[in-house]
Structure 1
Amino acid sequence: MRLFLPVFNYVCMLILSVITAIFIYTFLFMPPEVGFSYVEMTSLFILLAYIIFAAPIQLVLHRHPKRFRSRDLLIYFIAAWVVCSALALWIDYGLVVFISYKVYLFSFCAALIYWVLDSVFLMKNPS
């Protein structure tokens, strides 16, 4: 059973990250007249972004693990901002993406969520 504990911790961290990020995304971007299918698709995109972009960064940062290291938060924020900006440009949000505070705010919140839950669930170093 101990073999599956790291996998269980990672899945819990990922699910909590997606749930928290979707609440923040709903608060920042979602118009009130959209339905539940919009939430499902947004959740899927956030999950894929965390798996495709954040997980490889996390693997590199876990070579020298330390809880709540601010450098890790900065790296997660930069990656989240690049992904959010690229997605916003891809869906024709326009160049407004670079001056909109919402993109920066969501990028920081997504990075903060992942960083905190990563430090709580996956880091073994108590420092």
Structure 2
Amino acid sequence: MRMFLPVFNYVCMLILSVITATFVYTLLFIPAEAGFGYVEMTSLLMLIAYVVFATPIQLVLHRHPKRFRGRDLLVYFLAAWMVCSALALWIDYGLVVFISYKVYLFSFCSALIYWVLNSVFLMKNRS
């Protein structure tokens, strides 16, 4: 059973990251009259983004693990900003993405959420 503990910790961290990032995204971007379907779809897209983009970065950064390292936060922020900007350009949000504070704020919040929960859940016994 002890061998499943890292997997359980990763799943807990991923679920909490998705829930928190979805909440932040809902506050920033989704209009008040939108239905629950927006939240469900946003959660699914957050999960995919965290698994596809953040997990490989996390695996590289965990070669020399250290809790709450600022460099890791910077790497997560840059990756989140690139993904958010690319998605915004892809869905025809336009070049406004580079001057919109919401994209930067959401990128930083999603990186901060993942960084904090990663340090709490996955680096519990490491220094």
User: Scaled by the length of structure 2, what TM-score is found?
Assistant: 0.98
Aligned counterpart, 1:43 = 43
Aligned counterpart, 1:114 = 114
1:62-73 equivalences under 5 Å are 62-73=62-73
Identical counterparts, % of pairs:
82
Aligned counterpart, 2:126 = 125
Shift of 1:115: 0.2
- Amino acid in structure 1 at the alignment position of 2:46: I
Unaligned 5+ runs, structure 1: none
Shift of 1:125: 1.7
- Amino acid in structure 1 at the alignment position of 2:120: V
CA shift digits 1:58-99 (9 cap, x unpaired): 000000000000000000000000000011111111100000
Shift of 1:4: 0.6
CA shift digits 1:29-48 (9 cap, x unpaired): 01011111111111111110
Aligned equivalents of 2:78, 2:17: Cα separation in 1: 17
Unaligned 5+ runs, structure 2: none
Matched residue count: 126
Aligned counterpart, 2:79 = 79
Aligned counterpart, 1:16 = 16
User: Scaled by the length of structure 1, what TM-score is found?
Assistant: 0.98
- Amino acid in structure 2 at the alignment position of 1:125: R
Aligned equivalents of 2:74, 2:13: Cα separation in 1: 19
What is the alpha-carbon root mean square deviation over aligned residues? 0.6
Aligned equivalents of 1:44, 1:37: Cα separation in 2: 11
